[in-house]
Structure 1
Amino acid sequence: IYEKFKQAIELGKWPDGRTLSREQKEICLQAVMLYEVKHGLDESNRTGYVDTTKKTSPCGPKDDSDDESTIRILH
């Protein structure tokens, strides 16, 4: 059930193709998060974890000059 809930949250639909309502998404997310805490998943492996140790600078140039930068998309 945990894996099916996670997949439903990620895809926005149930395995049979029906769309999750907003309320269903909220309930599934709460259930997944509670399961992860109860079963002792490491914090970095939990749903919704954001690594705050990797600080980055804000987006955009610091001044009004044209700034050309490479954008890296991570999968």
Structure 2
Amino acid sequence: MTDPYLETVRAMGPELYERMVRALATGLWPDGTSITAAQREHTMQAVIAWGELNLPPEERIGYIDKGHKAGSSCDDPQPMTWLEKEENK
């Protein structure tokens, strides 16, 4: 048994994906009508699913580049030195 939703997402082409992303960004469909809350939710799900199936991780909606540490010294604790004010001496 196949999942009709997944089959529909698989059948989407990149042009439809781009139109959906643009509609989410602007809040309007290509014909100028506003996206309803329910349409926004379903469109987001479809865009995320299509990206999972067709795009490398760094090109997907919501991708966050966590980078890498510059070196191990960034995690080494550094002692604090308190300086006394001249008035308190």
Q: Residue 42 of structure 1: CA displacement?
A: 1.5
Structure 1: distance between partners of 2:17 and 2:53: 12
Q: Which residue of 1 aligns with 2:57?
A: 43
Calculate percent identity across the aligned residue pairs.
34
Residue number among 30, 37, 43 corresponding to 1:28 in the alignment: 43
Q: Residue 30 of structure 1: CA displacement?
A: 0.5
RMSD of aligned C-alpha atoms? Answer: 1.7
TM-score, normalised via structure 2 length: 0.54
Q: Which residue of 1 aligns with 2:28?
A: 13
**Stretches (4+) displaced over 4 A:** none
**Which entry has the higher C-alpha Rg, 1 or 2?**
2
Unaligned regions of 5+ residues in structure 2, if any?
1-15, 69-89
Unaligned regions of 5+ residues in structure 1, if any?
55-75
Question: How many equivalent residue pairs?
Answer: 54
TM-score, normalised via structure 1 length: 0.63
Q: Residue 51 of structure 1: CA displacement?
A: 2.4
